[in-house]
Structure 1
Amino acid sequence: MIDPRWVFVSAVLGMAGSVRYAFAIVRGTVRPNLVTWSLWAAVPLIAFSAQLDSGVGLPAVQTLVAGAGPLVVVVTGVCTRQNLARLGAFDLACALAACAALGAWLGLGEAALAVVFAVAADAAAALPTVVKAWHDPASENLLFYVLVGTGATVTLLTITSWSPAAWAFAAYVLTLSVSLVAIVSGRRRALRYA
């Protein structure tokens, strides 16, 4: 375990990735799926509140940034109109699944279980971006996911309490980041040689 204050390095990495992604939106090199990014903003911000209620402490900073960063991306995507905002049946189904998980979580009032539902909601919200990354890997920014995944790793290394409320969200963010890096880089390579 490393000093818990390293979580601020995690926060800086996450925000740097989000700001870089926002600049890529302005340049027109990426197009965020607004369903995913809107839910990626909302879910962690709610999970942050649950973590505060359960006394998680400094690891909650990474969860806060996991919501604030996507909020920057959403605002940039809406303001520049450089986004993927077409809502298909799949996008709506993922949004409904994420909202249902959020509703179940909020209805339970149990902070530790709330973080587990937040992870489920965030994962459902991620599906449209995972599909978009598979079909159009050039529309994603690899460095964003590398920075966020590195930040999640730093957060996991600072954890002193291994209750799910403390580690589940950071572990999920690391898993999602690694998955998206693998999908985007693998698909770019496959399409280049196709």
Structure 2
Amino acid sequence: MDSSIKFVFSIVAILLTFAAFFPYIRSILRGTTKPHLFSWVIWGTTTLIVFFAQLKAKGGMGAWPIGISGTITTYIALLAFLKSSQISITRTDWLFFIAALSSLPFWYFTSNPFWAVLLLTLVDLLGFGPTIRKAYACPHEENIPFFFLFLGRNLFALLALEQYSLTTVLFPLSVSGACFFLLVLVYYRRKVIAVEVIKNP
């Protein structure tokens, strides 16, 4: 595919990243959305490391949206901490975080970014656990447009990749699937709760 088209895909992915994050950050500041602190700490850590791994694997322009996303994600983790929203850190949360950090020496000793990306993708998907648990119990506290835009962002980031390999594709493809699952779960749970309210006013 022509590099100019890939550049356009990368810019679209970056714009979708900002379009998703700005309203999400605004909703956190208003107290409407209450993100789980450790999910965002894990996502910020894994996304930034994957960004550098994609650059190493010649992902090129397709890695740019991932790097920007990792930076903003880390900021959301900070906001979650400052707003004291859902600061319940379990032993499992710490395991996920340690696993994310362990990818660095793992990558260093294997000299292959794929193994770091594989580990980080697994950790990132596990990082969805606390948010999925909360979304099931409190679906109205999650922001559907955010995850919808994030799904689109990852799809355009995939299209923008300059080099396709498991190292460059695995992370954005997996996160797209997780976002889609979360969207379906939130939509379903909101419907169930709405029916229950009608039946038991």
Give the distance between the partners of 1:131 and 1:53, measured in 2 at CA: 34
* Runs of 4 or more above 4 Å deviation: 96-103
Match of 2:117 in 1: 115
Q: TM-score, normalised by structure 1?
A: 0.88
Match of 1:30 in 2: 33
Match of 1:50 in 2: 53
- CA offset at residue 166 of structure 1? 1.9
User: Identity, % of aligned pairs?
Assistant: 25
Match of 1:88 in 2: 90
Deviations 1:114-140 (A, max 9, x none): 222221121122211111111111111
Give the distance between the partners of 2:188 and 2:107, measured in 1 at CA: 35
Question: 1:50 and 1:78, CA in 2 relative to 1: closer, same or farther beyond 3 A?
Answer: same
Please point out which of 184, 187, 193 is paired with 1:185: 187
Q: TM-score, normalised by structure 2?
A: 0.86
Larger radius of gyration: 2
- The number of equivalent residue pairs is 193
Please point out which of 151, 154, 168 is paired with 2:156: 154
Please point out which of 153, 166, 169 is paired with 2:168: 166
Give the distance between the partners of 2:186 and 2:108, measured in 1 at CA: 33
- CA offset at residue 77 of structure 1? 2.2
- CA offset at residue 106 of structure 1? 5.1
Please state whether the residue corresponding to 2:61 is helix, strand or coil: coil
- CA offset at residue 55 of structure 1? 1.6
Which deviates the most, 88-97 or 45-54?
Answer: 88-97
Match of 1:175 in 2: 177
Question: 1:153 and 1:9, CA in 2 relative to 1: closer, same or farther beyond 3 A?
Answer: same
Name the aligned partner's letter for residue 121 of structure 1: V
Q: Which runs of 5+ in 2 are unaligned?
A: 197-201
